[in-house]
Structure 1
Amino acid sequence: MQTSRRYFLIVAASLASTAVLQTGARAVAPELSESDPTAQALGYKSDGANVDTAKYPKHQAGQVCSNCQFYQGKAGDTSGACTVFSGKLVSARGWCSAYMKKP
């Protein structure tokens, strides 16, 4: 049940970081680095075109942070907050294995 555990952690992080975002912390948030331990654990790439599809076979062309349900940026932003990576900004063109298409 590793998928369920991952989903739980993503949702928990989502709820926690939503509170942070509502306090106006977005403007001072640092850009997420691909070398960040959480970013590495989730296979984050600042450019979704550079995803290792052998390692992450669920990745598909067109999946980017800007159309993920965890992305908090506005349309046209080059980066935005992500509820998975609490307190950090992700590239709108980025991707990670927590990707879930916006409904």
Structure 2
Amino acid sequence: MQRRTFVIACACPSLALAQAGAHVDEASEQAQGIGYREDTRKVDAKKYPQHRPEQRCSNCNFWQGAKADEWAGCAMFGRKHIANGGWCVAWVSTPAK
């Protein structure tokens, strides 16, 4: 946890929760539109033949958190958070550093 997040959480717990962002609901129209699943192992292989088991949100170029974060932001979902082990059709490999 970053120091700033810790200080905010101590000073104002409700603000810290709001800052953390709501999780994307797999049943939402937006999530279904791009095939988002919280668990890459549960992606329908027939519907998404381009999916590979090693592809997950935390190794996608749109992931906005640290590799170890359980949930983080995603450019596809605005302020909502996605699961580290999730996947969607917008998955793009993170460029080599």
User: What TM-score results when the alignment is normalised by the length of structure 1?
Assistant: 0.73
CA offset digits 1:19-53 (Å, max 9, x no partner): xxxxxxx8231000101111000000000000001
SS in 2 for 1:80: strand
Q: Which runs of 5+ in 2 are unaligned?
A: 1-17
8 Å CA contact 2:59–2:67 kept in 1: the answer is no
CA offset digits 1:62-95 (Å, max 9, x no partner): 0000000001011211010000111100000000
Partner of 2:10: none
Q: How many correspondences in the alignment?
A: 80
- Deviating runs (4+, > 4 A) in structure 1? none
Partner of 1:7: none
Q: Which runs of 5+ in 1 are unaligned?
A: 1-25
Tell me, in whole angstroms, the C-alpha distance in 2 between the residues paired with 1:50 and 1:91: 13
Larger Rg: 2
Say what the alpha-carbon RMSD is for the aligned residues: 1.8
Tell me, in whole angstroms, the C-alpha distance in 1 between the residues paired with 2:40 and 2:20: 24
Percent identity, aligned pairs only? Answer: 37
Amino acid at match of 2:21: A
